Amino acid sequence: MSTAPSIEPSVPARRDFLGRLGKGLGILAAAEILAVVVAYLAPTRGGAGRGAGIVVAGPVGEFTPASVRPFPAGKFYLVRLSDGGFLALSSKCTHLGCTVPWSQKEQTFPCPCHASTFDLKGDVLAPPATRALDLFPVVIEGGIVKVDTSRRIERARFEPAQVTYL
Amino acid sequence: MGAGPAPERKPSGFSHLVLHLHPRLVPAAALPFQRTCGLGGAAAVLFLVLAVTGALLLVVYEPSPERAYGTVVRLVDEIPFGAFVRNAHHWAANGLVLVTLLHLLRVFYRGGHLPPRKGNWFVGVALLLLVVACAFTGYLLPWDQLAYWAVTISTGMLEYVPAAGATMLRAARGGPDIGPATLARFFVLHVAILPIALLLLLAFHFWLVRKVGGVILPADAGDEASPRGPLVLTSPHLTQREGAAALVVLAAVMLLAAVRNAPLLAQANPGMSPNPAKAPWYFMGVQELLVHLHPAFGAVAVPLLALVLLVLLPALGGGERPSGRWFGSPRGARLAMAATSLAVVVTVAAVVANEPLRRARPWFPGLPPAVRGGVIPLAVAVILVAVVAWVSRRRGGSRLEVVQAAFTFVAASFVVLTVVGVFFRGQGMALVMP
């Protein structure tokens, strides 16, 4: 009878503790399950190793200056500027990802989706696009032009250092 | 007819089921068509049509980029009534988005978003998002040019979410581009996760309607003793009306399915965007914004603000009691009409005026594009909304009517943008006559 008051306060404290422990463990378990689901759903990198994305475009002499040749399979245009330099422009509009065609008449890349326009160097001529077309690295080995489509280079605007010369 | 003692009828099994949704007696004032325009009920019927036709489509469809398009072509060309079932699913889906939007407007303009129905307004907004998500995930499944590019554009908008954009884009697509992983994700969302979520939330929505005592009634429906007016038996008075309305909806879907085919273009070709490439109609308002605004504003900030506005509408009412009448009062209706007219004039003028400007050199090339094409237009729009609210106040509108006029201005502008995007945009997104 005299022991009851000394025990009673500890009971709610213990219950409280166990309750909190249970809640905490529940939250932890939910977080773990969520992490499993996120990891399961996260995009996995494609198995392509180094060099898998190399597209052999052809000998340098095949491309006349100030010309554009599409490579639909590689999703890029190989541009030869009037000074003889090469640029590989991604055909994906930087606005929302539509594929831009090349207009020979206008000498521009007009996006069919939201009317963004890019020039021969990929620079934005008309918004809503805010960045120049992405680049893929161009290498010239033994007079053959090769484009590495596995490495996409994002850029704000055209700069002369982006051009590859023979 | 009406409140008199109705003849005793033994309820059938079916009316037992219906009477789980409805009380045994309903106010006679709740019955007239213009109380709800049958929109919530029509949405429920369309959901059932979608479940049935969707189950039939599932038997034929295969969700892989190699086979999806072929199975849809086979469905349309070879399976008996295949085109009909697909058309019915297509029209019911578009109808559901439209009816859900109209239902939202009906509830709002009758004050059904205010306490005590405030909680159910939030459930309704969540249901609207689920309905649009269902429609959008279904859009990709045929794997034709329309599907591929509409989904490319719509998911591309995620890239402009600050900080998390790139991650969200990859999560939605299951990779950098639309591909097999995207189709698998959209398929599971479309046939399992979203419909189940919709069904659960729909049950909650119905239960909350029942709990609050049914549809909102005008304050003068009854008298001191019985504020809701005379009551009538739910079966047959309400059930017969609902049954008739359901049959009308069903007939409309089947008629459309019989005479209008759901679109099916050539198989998806990642190398060639069609010109023009348009999003589904319920996203065309946003796509139209994208033509004019900086993408971070057109794709993210403005749609997010619109959603926040929808969620805030009950709180903006300031605790005023809804009258249950259309637009609150005749004055409220006049103010809403004026806001609609102003929105049509201003939006059309802005779209037309921006047509030459957006191709020309910018006026202030020194300003960053996000300010020129985002902050400034948004500020102008906010000022216009404020002007609408201020003028409504000056014309003697109550707080509810002022909020109503301001919301009407925003909603009407968005409708105009959608109409422009759907009907008046041609090749290269240039303005054309339809």
Search chain A and give the residue with CA nearest B293: A128
Mean pLDDT in residue range B136-164: 90
Q: How far is CA A156 from the centre of its chain?
A: 14
Is A101 within 8 Å of B272 when comparing Cβ atoms? yes
- Residue A109 forms beta bridges with which residues? A118
pLDDT of amino acid A69 = 85
Residue B230 or residue B49, greater confidence: B49
Residue A136 has pLDDT above 60, yes or no: yes
Q: How many CB atoms lie within 10 A of CB B112?
A: 23
Residue B76 has pLDDT above 80, yes or no: yes
Residue B182 has pLDDT above 50, yes or no: yes
Mean pLDDT in residue range B286-295: 86
Residue A28 or residue B30, greater confidence: A28
Cβ B82 vs Cβ B117: under 8 Å: no
Cβ B96 vs Cβ B198: under 8 Å: no
Residue A1 has pLDDT above 60, yes or no: no
Residue range B3-28, pLDDT digits in tens: 444 555 565 666 666 667 788 888 88
Least confident among A25-29, A125-129, B40-44? A125-129
Q: How would residue B2 be classed by pLDDT, with cut points 50, 70 and 90?
A: very low
Hey, which of A15-19, B61-65, B235-239 has the most confident mean pLDDT? B61-65
Crossing angle of helices B118-140 and B145-156, rounded to 10°:
130
> Which residues does B contribute to its contact with A (CB < 8 Å)?
149, 152-153, 156-157, 159, 170-171, 173-177, 181, 185, 270-277, 287, 290-295, 298-299, 358-359, 369, 373, 427-430
Residue B259 has pLDDT above 80, yes or no: yes
Token pair of B414, please? 């968005």
Search chain B and give the residue with CA nearest A39: B171
CA distance B304 to A132: 27
pLDDT of amino acid A165 = 80
Hey, which of B22-26, B259-263, B355-359 has the most confident mean pLDDT? B259-263
pLDDT of amino acid B4 = 47
- Residue B178 forms beta bridges with which residues? none
Distance (Å) from the C-alpha of residue A161 to the closest C-alpha of chain B?
24
**φ, ψ for residue A117, nearest 5 deg:** -130, 140
CA distance B419 to B410: 14
Token pair of B305, please? 């603000």
Nearest to A60 by CA among A137, A142, A144, A136: A144
pLDDT of amino acid B317 = 80
Distance (Å) from the C-alpha of residue A3 to the closest C-alpha of chain B?
51
Mean pLDDT in residue range A143-156: 85
Cβ A113 vs Cβ B277: under 8 Å: yes
Distance (Å) from the C-alpha of residue A133 to the closest C-alpha of chain B?
15
Is A98 within 8 Å of B359 when comparing Cβ atoms? no
Is B274 within 8 Å of A112 when comparing Cβ atoms? yes
Cβ A69 vs Cβ A63: under 8 Å: yes
Nearest to A136 by CA among A97, A86, A102, A93: A86
Q: Which of A77, A96, A99 to mutate to test the interface with B (most CBs of B within 10 A)?
A: A96
Search chain A and give the residue with CA nearest B152: A97
Nearest to B108 by CA among B418, B411, B383: B411
CA distance B92 to B43: 9
Is A75 within 8 Å of B272 when comparing Cβ atoms? no
Least confident among A51-55, A100-104, B132-136? A51-55
> Measured between beta carbons, which residues in chain A are less than 8 angstroms from residue B371?
none
pLDDT of amino acid A8 = 57
Residue range B369-392, pLDDT digits in tens: 778 878 888 999 999 999 999 999
Q: Which of B273, B292, B300, B432 to mutate to test the interface with A (most CBs of A within 10 A)?
A: B273
Q: Which helix (H) or strand (E) holds A109?
A: strand A109-110
Hey, which of B145-154, B408-417, B424-433 has the most confident mean pLDDT? B408-417
CA distance B156 to A114: 12
CA distance B126 to B304: 14
Is A99 within 8 Å of B293 when comparing Cβ atoms? no
CA distance B271 to B82: 30
CA distance A68 to A75: 13
Residue B194 or residue A74, greater confidence: B194
Is B295 within 8 Å of A72 when comparing Cβ atoms? no
Is A72 within 8 Å of B271 when comparing Cβ atoms? yes
Q: How far is CA A152 from CA A74, A142, B141, in A?
A: 12, 24, 28
Q: How would residue A5 be classed by pLDDT, with cut points 50, 70 and 90?
A: low
Q: Which of B145, B151, B153 to mutate to test the interface with A (most CBs of A within 10 A)?
A: B153
Q: How would residue A9 be classed by pLDDT, with cut points 50, 70 and 90?
A: low
Nearest to B296 by CA among B163, B414, B157: B157
Distance (Å) from the C-alpha of residue B380 to the closest C-alpha of chain A?
19
CA distance A164 to A145: 10
Residue B270 has pLDDT above 80, yes or no: yes
pLDDT of amino acid B1 = 39
Is A91 within 8 Å of B177 when comparing Cβ atoms? no
Residue range B87-102, pLDDT digits in tens: 999 999 999 999 999 9
Mean pLDDT in residue range B225-248: 85
pLDDT of amino acid A20 = 92
- Residue A79 forms beta bridges with which residues? A68, A87
pLDDT of amino acid A87 = 87
Q: How would residue B214 be classed by pLDDT, with cut points 50, 70 and 90?
A: confident
pLDDT of amino acid A139 = 86
pLDDT of amino acid B3 = 46
Mean pLDDT in residue range B151-158: 88
Tell the burial category of B32 from Cβ atoms under 10 Å away from its Cβ (0-12, 13-18, 19+).
exposed
Query: In the A/B pair of chains, how many CB contacts fall below 8 A?
Result: 88
CA distance B252 to B239: 20
Residues 6 or more apart whose CB falls under 8 angstroms from that of B56 comprise B85
**φ, ψ for residue B144, nearest 5 deg:** -105, 180
| Cis amide prior to B116 (ω within 30 degrees) | yes
Is A97 within 8 Å of B295 when comparing Cβ atoms? no
pLDDT of amino acid B29 = 82
Search chain A and give the residue with CA nearest B157: A96
What is the average pLDDT value for chain B, to the nearest integer?
Answer: 88
pTM here is 0.87
- Residue A132 CB-half CA count within 13 A: 18
Is B373 within 8 Å of A75 when comparing Cβ atoms? no
Is A114 within 8 Å of B429 when comparing Cβ atoms? yes
Distance (Å) from the C-alpha of residue A82 to the closest C-alpha of chain B?
25
Least confident among B46-55, B203-212, B327-336, B367-376? B367-376
Residue B428 carries which side chain, given as an amino acid letter? Answer: G
> Which residues does A contribute to its contact with B (CB < 8 Å)?
41-43, 46, 72-73, 75, 91, 95-101, 110-115, 126-128, 130
Least confident among A18-22, B25-29, B181-185? B25-29
Search chain B and give the residue with CA nearest A94: B156
Is B270 within 8 Å of A111 when comparing Cβ atoms? no
Search chain B and give the residue with CA nearest A117: B359
| Cis amide prior to B276 (ω within 30 degrees) | yes
CA distance B161 to B47: 32
Token pair of A17, please? 């503790």
Residue range A59-116, pLDDT digits in tens: 878 888 888 888 888 888 988 888 888 888 898 888 888 888 888 888 888 888 777 8
